[in-house]
Amino acid sequence: MATKSKSKTGGTSLTNEQQQQIVSGFQALREEQTQLVSKTQDLEMDLKEHDLVLSTLKTITDKQRRCYRMIGGVLIEHTTGEVLPAVESNREQIKNVIDTYKQKSEEKSKEIQAYKEKYDIHFANERQPQLTNSSSDSTSESTKEQAKDSSSSTNQTQNSANKDVKSSKSSGVLVDNDS
């Protein structure tokens, strides 16, 4: 028996399978963004290494002094005068790639935000309480217990399919922050 929930997508009901597809799509977008950020960080470390090499090479006044440059895992002998322009060129290329990755990461962030809004996805810590204080404490307590029971049964069903993802019957899909 499939559990259905409401979504912002025109008020239609979503089955568990559809919810899982939405969550999978969201997680794929987040993974792509994570990969972009990781590549950017790696390139930024390479950029710092290039800056260090450049600062060292610029202090050398003898442009005919021997130095070694690793290309494809092989050390090749050059002069500092030959290596300096090549390292500067590589540094600029790395900087351009970093800028491109940062731009792509920002675009991916906007795409993720749009996806979250389209399917009404919330992280557990973003979730606003749906229960309000009523005039009667007993009514409030029974409402809280009913909500707890229904979310508990929903969470048990979802946890067996995917530990990191939870479903909310009232507002679409809820992604746990642990993933």
Cα 102-103-105 angle, rounded to 5 deg: 65
- The predicted-structure confidence for 48-70, as pLDDT tens digits, reads as follows 999 999 999 999 999 999 999 99
**Distance between CA atoms of residues 103 and 119, nearest Å:** 25
Q: How many domains does the chain have?
A: 1
pTM for the full model?
0.64
User: Residue 26 in contact with residue 115, Cβ under 8 Å?
Assistant: yes
| 145 lies in some domain | no
Residue 139, burial from CB neighbour count under 10 angstroms (0-12, 13-18, 19+): exposed
**Distance between CA atoms of residues 26 and 138, nearest Å:** 39
| 141 lies in some domain | no
- The predicted-structure confidence for 15-27, as pLDDT tens digits, reads as follows 999 999 999 999 9
**Residue 91, domain CATH:** 1.10.287.370
- The predicted-structure confidence for 122-142, as pLDDT tens digits, reads as follows 888 876 655 444 444 444 444
| pLDDT value of residue 174 | 41
| 132 lies in some domain | no
Examine the pLDDT at 31 and tell me if it is beyond 90: yes
